[in-house]
Amino acid sequence: MGVVIESSVWEPNPAIYIFLFVCCCFSIFLFPYASNHHRTSTIFDHGISPSFLRFQRSFLFVYSLASVMEGLWSVFGEYELASYGLSREQMIQSLCYGYTTALFAAPFLGVLSDLIGHKKVSLIFCILHLFLGIWKRFAEQPSIFVTSIYLSLANTIFLFSFETWMVTQHEKQGHRQDSLNDTFWLMTFFESAWFIASQMLANWLIGNSSEKNIPPSSTIIFLATICFIFVTRGWTETPGTGSFKEYSRSFYAYIFGDKRIWLLAWAQMCLHFSIGIFWILWAPTVVADGREVQLGLIYPSFLASRMLGSTIFPCLTSGPSSLRTEDCLVYAYIVLALLLSIVAYDYQEIGFLVTLFCMFHACLGFILPSLARLRTMYVPNELRGGMMGLSLAPANAAILLSVIQGGYYRNVGNSALMAFGVLGLLLAAVCMHALKQLGKQPYHNWHKQ
């Protein structure tokens, strides 16, 4: 007599999406009442400048298009690797190509963005996506090596160029400085929302694709063209007139010579490293021991949690009991470290794991706009791109080393890699505490000296 063992595929309860959506709406609509006793310039102000609203909406529209393109390639890339039948070693090699490219390209692109203008570098982002879409549209089997390089370059630009252009033009157009906070958390909110939309779009395109690569690539071509047109016609910019020698002298004086910026850069680097480790290991952790899971249904819950976390930022920084950003970040980094340490050292059921991961992303939603706010406080706008690109380089190097040792050679286990992420987050908390102790001192525009 045979014994039949029924296997079930774990799926998140659909109610979780409704819960996160309601929480996001509640948090957003509650904010005006929570901040009545400590008014700042917010999206709920009726007296806010119409010129600023046009500027903000124009930027968020282009940033949303860029987010959709990044999200489409992220989802379609996994499908493409699986459809070509690549081995595990080849998939790891594609990751290594990408992180190696980002390691060397991030500092160069950051400095280039400051020198020639963030608008031009953002146009390069559109061109990279446009070229890759055309190539995949007509090539029978595009090179994974070239694909990884192009996507890595585009992702590196996405991480800093759009934000840097927005902050620089915000200042040049004379908008109120405190209104930047709204744009920062809206960037995280819109990015997460459009990542969810891009996953739905990618799955629909792949499911209705009669010929491999054509619908997703054609969509990328269309989006990249629209984004290119809006950046070209809708964005204005006056690049710096200083030479590379003057820029290098100022970069050394302000970035390398300011302990506060060093601490901020290390905190950004540790966060980027931990996020990279998380996205590499979360799926293997969930499906460990042969567990069957609908990963595509879990991914949106992470992003929805990040949306919810971003709505907490204005409440904590603009409410009646507003806290100092550095204080909030110390606690947020510690919470991230605790959440990741539970996953690293204790076996958990799928439901509890997903809950921990959602809480992890909710904290991320708060941390990302908070770091953007600190960059505005401490880093001169003329050096912002170089500073952000420089902080990405050691993080990419650490992730590359982790992928090689843990994924390719298997010398380090997944739990150990997550433990390194925990150490990085604790180090970031220490950096934020030290930054608070140093305090804020005003800087001067370097090109005026």
Is 245 part of a structural domain of the chain? yes
The answer for residues whose C-beta is within 8 angstroms of residue 3's C-beta and 6 or more apart is none
Q: If you average pLDDT over residues 126-133, what whole number do you get?
A: 94
**Per-residue pLDDT tens digits for 155-213:** 999 999 999 999 999 999 988 888 898 899 999 999 999 999 998 888 888 776 655 55
Q: Which of 361, 383, 357, 366 is nearest to 330 (CA)?
A: 366
Q: According to the model, what pLDDT value does residue 239 have?
A: 67
Model confidence at 40, pLDDT cuts 50, 70, 90, reads very low
Model confidence at 23, pLDDT cuts 50, 70, 90, reads confident
**Rounded CA gap, 302 and 319, in Å?**
26
> How many domains does the structure of the chain reveal?
1
Is 105 part of a structural domain of the chain? yes
Choice between 270 and 46, residue whose per-residue pLDDT is larger = 270
Task: Kindly tell me if the per-residue pLDDT of 32 is higher than 70.
Answer: no
Is 17 part of a structural domain of the chain? no
Is 22 part of a structural domain of the chain? no
Is 2 part of a structural domain of the chain? no
**Per-residue pLDDT tens digits for 393-408:** 999 999 999 999 998 8
Give the structural domain span for 341: 56-438
Model confidence at 441, pLDDT cuts 50, 70, 90, reads low
Q: According to the model, what pLDDT value does residue 322 have?
A: 60
Q: Which of 334, 114, 418, 123 is nearest to 240 (CA)?
A: 114
CATH number at residue 417: 1.20.1250.20
- Site of tokens 């590196």: 156
Q: What is the pTM of this model?
A: 0.91
| 3 state DSSP class of 1 | coil
DSSP tag of 380: -
The answer for residues whose C-beta is within 8 angstroms of residue 333's C-beta and 6 or more apart is 267, 271, 367, 425, 426, 428, 429, 432
Q: If you average pLDDT over residues 86-94, what whole number do you get?
A: 83
Model confidence at 43, pLDDT cuts 50, 70, 90, reads low
Q: Which of 350, 318, 240 is nearest to 12 (CA)?
A: 350
17-31 burial, b at 16+ Cβ within 10 Å, e below that, comes to: eeebeebbeebbeeb
Is 279 part of a structural domain of the chain? yes
For the record, the structure tokens of 342 come out as 């539970």
**Rounded CA gap, 429 and 327, in Å?**
9
Is 6 part of a structural domain of the chain? no
Is 277 part of a structural domain of the chain? yes
Alpha carbon separation from 379 to 75, 118, 238, 251, 412 (Å, rounded): 34, 16, 19, 10, 37
